[in-house]
Every structure is written in C-alpha cells, then in structure tokens.
Structure 1
Amino acid sequence: MHIPQHTAIKEFINYLTFEKRYSRHTITSYTLDLEQFFTFVQSQYGEIDLPKISSSIIRTWMAELKNDTLQSRSINRKLSSLKSFFKYQIKQGTIIQSPLTTIVSPKTSKRLPAFVEEKNMDTLFSYVEFGNDWKGKTDKLILQLLYHTGMRLSELIGLKEQHIDFDYKQVKVLGKGNKERIIPVSQELLTNIRHYMAEKPVRLPQVTVLLVNAKGKPLYPKYVYTTVKHYLGAVTTIDKKSPHVLRHTFATHLMNHGADINAVKELLGHASLAATQVYTHNTIEKLKDVYKKAHPKA
C-alpha cells in the first residue's frame, strides 16, 4: 500500500492532536522532527515507500545529525519521534516492522535537574520586595503557586478560579493529555489566593483563569517566564532560572524531606515513575554532602 509521506505525517500528527491530545509544543516538535527526517530521505534516496525505509537509512541520518554536532539528547528526541511514527504505521497496517527495532540510542550524560536551595526560596519570599501594585501581587502569586504546587507553566496559566477548593485545601490541575490531578496546598497559599481574587481590578466575564494582568486578561507564557527569571536572579546564581526550575525545586525539596517517590510522581502528574526517579539523584547528592561534613572518616 503506497501512502505519500506527507499524507502519512499529516495523519499521524492528527492522531497525536485529536486522539492523544498532546500539547501544541509537543506537536510542533514531532512535526519538525518528521519533516526533517523525510527531507533527508528525499534528498539522499528519492521518493521511497515507507516499508522500504530501513535501519541503515536511519543510521545514515543519525550520522548526519552527529556531523551537525547535534547533542545525543537531541538525537534521542528525534529518534523517539520516529519510533512513535513507525509504531503508528504498524498499527495502521502500512508497515509490518519498524526500522528502528535494531537502532541503539546514543548514550547521554545524566544531567541532574537544576533547583533552588531551600534557604534561597526562604529569602525570596521573606526578603525580596514585590511591588504593592497589581503587577507585584500577580508576580508574587506566580512564584508561590509554582513553588507550592510544582505545576507546569501551561497548567499555571490555565488554572481557573473554580479549580481552587478552599474547603478541602486543594487545587485541581489540568495536565498533559487533559489529565486532571489534585494537589494539596497550604492555608497560607489559599489565603493569598483568596485576597488576590477579591482584589482583582478588572473582571472580564469571559475570563475564568485565576492569574490575570491589570486589564483582567490571561497572562502570556513569556510574561511568566520573564517574571520567574527576574526574581530567581535575585536569590540564586544557577544558570537556569525558569518556571520549570521551580517545578524541579518543588520535587527536590519534597524528596529531600523524605516524601515517597510515588506520591511525588502523582503530584507532578508524571505518567511513569522513570520521569520522577531523576529527583532521587539530588537526594543522594545531598546525602553524600551530609556524609562528608559529618562522618569523621569521610
């Protein structure tokens, strides 16, 4: 069965968009990876049917990526996109076997997630000044929500007022693939949220999200990113200062205080435990540090 490559890509992307409900960012990544691969195939081998794409073609493409000095982590992401694509083609009956079955992913060096030290987070909320205007109040709540809940940037921007449960002291978060999860929160944070909601300068009937600008409109991702970078820059010298670093900080601080890894997995909304296990490395590093400082023979 001959299916044009561009049609096969389009059908797969539609599947990810409407059935798997992947985020726009993920869809863009898959699309770019697949288009890049098939552009390479076209330039090197001409128009060939999907069943004729072999593992040797994949390896040649990987070699080309390495020649372009692409990092192993980036190559692995592209391979992951291809794996998903060919797995879908097997499901559709277009091919019998994936050409990636014998492909070995390049080894990557394990990077520990960057996080902010507890004392620095204390400094941020105890001593750093936030403006007394609406911008200052919004900025402070952005940082508090990210650190107290570990939610993703997209989840923060989409957090609705009705998803704050003041009675049960929890928030409902809509995560990847529209999966809902419940995150318990402190009374202190709930009090801040209540004051923020009561003081909103403008209430637009069509806007139901919690965080808004002075005109009552939802925040842009870039605004949140810039805000986090600015305030973290006042308390830490780590290279990365992003909303995702506060997610790492949330998870690392929980693990350092003995939280069960499965509980942390649920709080973060991870699909598998493997994604959460990276935070145990930070815990081990902390234990090593304690050992070196405390053990007489260390």
Structure 2
Amino acid sequence: MMREIKPTAPPTLSALLQGFFAEYMMQQKALSPCTVAAYRDTFMLFLNFASVRCVQSPATMKMTDITPELILAFLDHLEQERHNTIRSHNARLAALRSFLKFAAHRDVTSLHVIEKALGIPMKRFERPTLGYLSRDEMLAVIGAPGSGWTSQRDHLLLGLLYNTGARVSEIIGVRVSDVVLDKSSFVHLHGPPVSG
C-alpha cells in the first residue's frame, strides 16, 4: 500500500528573508556588517513601499507578490520621490536580485515570478571622466619639503609616486633593499601578487 505524500507549503516571505539574512549573508557569505546594513535598509524601504502599494502587511506577503512591476515601481519611487541616484537605484536592485536568487533555491513554486524579476536590467549611467593635474599643479602639491622628518618623507613619497607612476600599494611595499643609490639611482617596484 502506497502512502500519500502531502505537498509541503512553500516558505513564507518572512521565513525566506530571515534565512537570507541569518543563514546566507551572515553565516555562509560572512558579509561585512556594512553590507548587511545596506541590504537591510533596501528591504525596509522595499517592504514599506510594497505594503502601501499592495495594501497588505509585509507579514502576509508571498514571493508571488514580488513581481517585476512591483520592483520597477519601487525603483521609480526611489528615483522620483526619494531623489536617489542611478548608483543607488542599481545598489538597491542588486540587493533585491541577490535575495531573489537565494529564494529561487528555497521556493520552487515561485520560480516563474522570480525568473521574470531577475530579468530587470541595471540602469546605465555616465561615469565621470577622471581629470588630472598639470605638471605645474603637481609640483605645487609636492612643494618644497619642510625641515621636519615627516615633511621630508612625505615629499619623497609624493615625488616617487609622481615620477614613477607607481600605485600606492607598490610604494608601500618598497623595502630598503629595493632602493639602489648608485650613479644611476633607482627603486625596484613590486606589483600585487598574481592570483592563479
């Protein structure tokens, strides 16, 4: 005689969120407290927005309520009402996507909605062009060293950075044995280790 297998109910949105923060972010990923706080803020904003828009409390919401339309309306709200930048828009969307990917493994019944929501693209934005200092401006920054030891050290470090084009990490890594004071003086610079 075969036993009837009763289907289990899908996890609630609150259970998924709790698992996302407690298990996934803090234990499995061991993300920094700042990252966890940023994701928490995203979900506080999102759930407040969703509860007003869907006219129900976050405790009664289901994964199927998190539609692409709701997410897009939330992102528009952030830009229009809260005057968030496109970078903030993308950061909030990244947090929601991370949660949706987590939820897809826990709630198979909502995969159709999750898949559609994951299709929301990040917004493109213009990256500001980085400027640079002219030679005269740089010489003004470097200036003449003072008589103190730290002033002379800082002058030497700034001059070394400017004249070699080295990264700060390369200058920090310079050891006494890397400096050669000869007829033609030079410094051995070592780049970051190559991960393989």
TM-score of the aligned structures, taking structure 1 as reference length: 0.42
Aligned length: 154
Partner of 2:118: 101
Does structure 2 retain, via aligned residues, the 8 Å contact 1:90–1:96?
yes
TM-score by length of 2: 0.60
Equivalent residue for 2:25? Answer: 16
User: Cα distance, 1:106 vs. partner?
Assistant: 2.0
Measured in 2, the distance between the counterparts of 1:187 and 1:52 equals: 59
How far, CA to CA, are the matches of 2:177 and 2:47 in structure 1?
Answer: 49
- The alignment status of 1:51 with 2:68, answered yes or no, reads no
Identity of aligned residues (%): 15
Q: Distance in 2 between matches of 1:9 and 1:129?
A: 59
Q: Taking structure 1 as reference, are residues 129 and 77 closer, same or farther at Cα in structure 2, changes over 3 Å only?
A: farther
Distance 1:39 1:17 in 2: 23
Of the three residues 120, 124, 142, the one matched with 1:123 is 142
For 2:140 and 2:98, how far apart are their aligned partners in 1?
39
Structure 1: which amino acid aligns with 2:126? S
1:187 paired with 2:175, answer: yes
Residue 42 of structure 2 corresponds to which residue in structure 1?
33
CA distance in 2, matches of 1:7, 1:189: 58
Q: CA deviation at 1:32?
A: 0.8
Kindly indicate whether the alpha-carbon contact (under 8 Å) linking 2:68 and 2:120 is maintained by their aligned counterparts in 1.
yes
The match for 2:101 is 87
Contact between 1:5 and 1:50, CA under 8 Å: does it hold in 2?
yes
Once the two structures are TM-superposed, the CA of residue 9 in structure 1 deviates from its matched residue by: 2.1
Determine the C-alpha separation between the residues in 1 that align with 2:131 and 2:21: 32
Q: Equivalents in 2 of 1:92, 1:71: separation in Å? A: 32
Q: Which residue of 2 aligns with 1:67?
A: 80
Larger radius of gyration: 2
Who is 1:149 aligned against?
169
What secondary structure does 2:126 align onto?
coil
Once residues 60 and 104 of structure 1 are traced to their aligned partners in structure 2, the CA distance between those partners, rounded to angstroms, is 14
Counterparts in 2 of 1:129 and 1:106: CA distance versus 1, 3 Å: farther
| Alignment counterpart, residue 127 of structure 2, candidates 90, 110, 132 | 110
* Cα offset, 1:76, TM superposition: 0.5
Corresponding residue for 2:90?
Answer: 76
Change (3 A) 1:74 1:114: farther
Where 2:111 maps in the other structure, the secondary structure is coil
- Once residues 24 and 114 of structure 1 are traced to their aligned partners in structure 2, the CA distance between those partners, rounded to angstroms, is 33
Gaps of 5+ in 2: 1-8, 159-166, 180-189
Q: 1:174-216 deviations in whole A, cap 9, x for unaligned?
A: xxxxxxxxx981115999xxxxxxxxxxxxxxxxxxxxxxxxx
